[in-house]
Chains A and B, each alone.
Chain A
Amino acid sequence: MFELLGIPPQVLLGQLLLGLINGSFYAVLSLGLAVIFGLLNIINFAHGALYMAAAFVAWMLLNYLGIGYWPALILSPLIVGAFGMVLERTMLSRLYHLDHLYGLLLTFGLALVIQGLFRNYYGISGLPYQIPDVLSGGQNLGFMFLPNYRAWIVVASVLVCFGTWFIIEKTRLGAYLRAGTENPTLVGAFGVNVPLMVTLTYGFGVALAGFAGVLAAPIYSVNPNMGEQLIITVFAVVVIGGMGSIMGAILTGYLLGIVEGLTRVFYPEGSAVVIFVIMAIVLMIKPEGLFGRPA
């Protein structure tokens, strides 16, 4: 049996699969960021906080209203997405004529406020959220034990990611969206309500973060810092993929999940920085990102 640098192939296969699972979160989150940046030119730093908020909303739905995982998987992103649209209408829309930095600062501030509110009411230790019964247990794949829930994460994220890509790149609605960001005045002249479209797009990007948040709730501790730890990594993913590139964000998300997974085997101490090292290298060699078009 071959071994790679002293690592048996079973372990390697297992880690590749785990990397893919983590990559699923990166892909869904960076996709949301890429949609928002690509179509609105907003660097949405509140993304991680909204991801966290959706996990909490799922918890609240269960504990206050008795609504389980499956309805929450739809409801919670909708609620958080609607909240996102309120933010866009009341605050972000005032900043479109200013530099990117203002949007970044505003969303960063919002992220701190949202996190602070949850921390104040729910503490930091986290809340329990059980895996739905249908998906508990797992399969023995020979090289590893794969929990059914993790398999579901990969399936769900692939469906959502490629569905989104399809809508934006291949449908008429997507064409309006892309045209609207290219030249809002002209598209408006054709009778398309551009501000409404922009609001809905922001809501949709946030709902993607919310979807990832509900996916994460049963396996990670639902706590106010869960988004903060992820958001920086996800930004690095978006930068590596190319700001605003939809397909770039998706593919880079999965790819970096795998790279990170492998680092955890070969040099676990470096797993927290490997993505940033790659980001630095990519920025040096191809500043527009792996899938980005040169500006």
Chain B
Amino acid sequence: MIRNLAISASALAMMTAAPAVAQDIDVKLGVLNDRSGTYADLSGEGSAVATRMAVEDFGAAEKGLNVEVVSADHQNKPDVGSNIAREWFDVADVHAIVDVPTSSVALAVSDIVAENNGVFLISGAGSTNLTREQCHPTTVHWTYDTAALANGTGAAVTNAGGEKWFFLTADYAFGHSLEENTMSVVEENGGEVVGNVRHPFPAQDFSSYLLQAQGSGADVIGLANAGSDTVNAIKQASEFGITQAGQSLAALLMFVTDVHSLGADTAQGLNLTEAFYWDQNDATREWTERYEAEMGSKPTMVHAGAYSSTMAYLAAVEAVGSAEDGAAVVDKMREMEIDDPFFGKVTVRGDGRAVHDMYLFEVKSPDQSEGEWDLYNQVATISGEDAFLPMLEECDFSKK
């Protein structure tokens, strides 16, 4: 009784105080990603869960922000994604779109977000074009991009003696971008590209492409694909004796869920670049525990990115006092000093690229691994300046 009284008293106090202290700001976030296809585990419902956790941890309600989170499945199809994005802006009054893996979809959505002056918080997509050829003042590319992957895994593998590369590339925007970025990193580091093959996305049988890679005389087969494509390619490479014959594989984009699916047996020794690993420090472990309680699996860097970018976005909205002007909110994000529990010091650049450290990991061998999710050893930290491409002059939207 007394407790209830106290609550109603404080509620009353808040109600009377509200107009003076906190504004009543409506914010609607739309989490748009693959919820049923090949990228559903690495983004999917997990990103929606992470976004809602961010809203809660930010204390949106106490700060006068009425945040609503909606989500939808873009099925990895640009037309489906575009339609949902348009509907969200035109009918549902969404202010920001979160996640959007599959670069072809993200590129389409980024234009729509810009047209509607919303905010695009990208976590799942990797194409560098999102902050280059197709840059917009409303885009924030948070978690990783193909250049960072190339500068991480590509450089590490080339410097470790893998000089001749053959690329096995998913035939869409993301694969092309990753292949192009890695090629230039390989060449910068004194390596050579001896060939490539582009496979349909998604694919199941890679034996034919692997045979072509084998015949190319390359030291390294670079897998410029993701999700189940990468898993299948690695599985079949081991079946066809490719690694035993002396060629090595470089999985340019691999998430902890993919490594888990392969098992430490098959994946051991692979180098990979990520922005986040659940077992990195106390903050990541604590958050992972809460996340896992809801999702039943460990989070990927895409989930962590959805969480952190939402946190930063909400802080900017609070500072601006409204979510209506997307470009203004992104401007505020550029000015803010962001010290994120997972990504460390983050700077949102003029072109929308969020610059932070990336990490090079090596997959543990089964003897080292103490559990089914105990998978990575951290090998190196790549500073943000080294990981991401320099900004293009024409994409600098920061207020000068």
B-facing residues in A115-149 (Cβ within 8 Å): 116, 119, 123-128, 131, 138, 144-145, 147, 149
- Report the minimum CB–CB distance from A288 to chain B (whole Å): 29
Which of B207, B241, B258, B297 contacts A18, CB < 8 Å? B207
CB contacts (< 8 Å) of A131 on chain B: these are 239
Between B42, B211, B297, the greatest number of chain A beta carbons within 10 A of the residue's beta carbon is seen for B211
Task: Give the segment of B126-134, B141-149, B198-206 that binds chain A.
Answer: B198-206
Given A15-B211, A131-B239, A145-B245 in contact, is the A119-B40 Cβ separation under 8 Å?
yes
Given A14-B211, A123-B41 in contact, is the A229-B261 Cβ separation under 8 Å?
no
Alpha-carbon gap, A221 to B202, bound state (A): 12
A22 adjacent to B205 (CB under 8 Å): yes
B239 adjacent to A149 (CB under 8 Å): yes
Q: Which residue of B lies closest to A19 (CB)?
A: B208
CB contacts (< 8 Å) of B261 on chain A: these are 125-128, 221
* A11 sits at the interface (CB 8 A): yes
- Report the minimum CB–CB distance from A53 to chain B (whole Å): 17
A221 adjacent to B208 (CB under 8 Å): no
Looking at chain B, what size class is its interface with the partner chain? 35 or more
Alpha-carbon gap, A18 to B42, bound state (A): 31
CB contacts (< 8 Å) of A268 on chain B: these are 171, 197-200, 208-209
Alpha-carbon gap, A127 to B297, bound state (A): 14
> A-side interface residues toward B, CB under 8 Å?
8, 10-11, 14-15, 18-19, 21-22, 116, 119, 123-128, 131, 138, 144-145, 147, 149-150, 219-221, 223, 225-226, 229-230, 261, 264-265, 268-269, 271-272
> B-side interface residues toward A, CB under 8 Å?
36-42, 44, 171, 197-200, 202-205, 207-209, 211-212, 214-215, 227-228, 231-232, 235-236, 239-241, 245, 257-258, 260-263, 265-266, 297
With A22-B207, A128-B263 already in contact, 7 other A-B pairs whose C-beta atoms are closer than 8 Å: A11-B211, A128-B262, A219-B239, A221-B261, A229-B204, A264-B208, A272-B200
Enumerate 16 A-B pairs (CB-CB under 8 Å) in ascending A order.
Answer: A116-B36, A123-B40, A124-B37, A124-B38, A124-B39, A124-B228, A125-B227, A125-B231, A125-B257, A144-B214, A219-B236, A219-B239, A220-B204, A225-B38, A225-B228, A264-B212
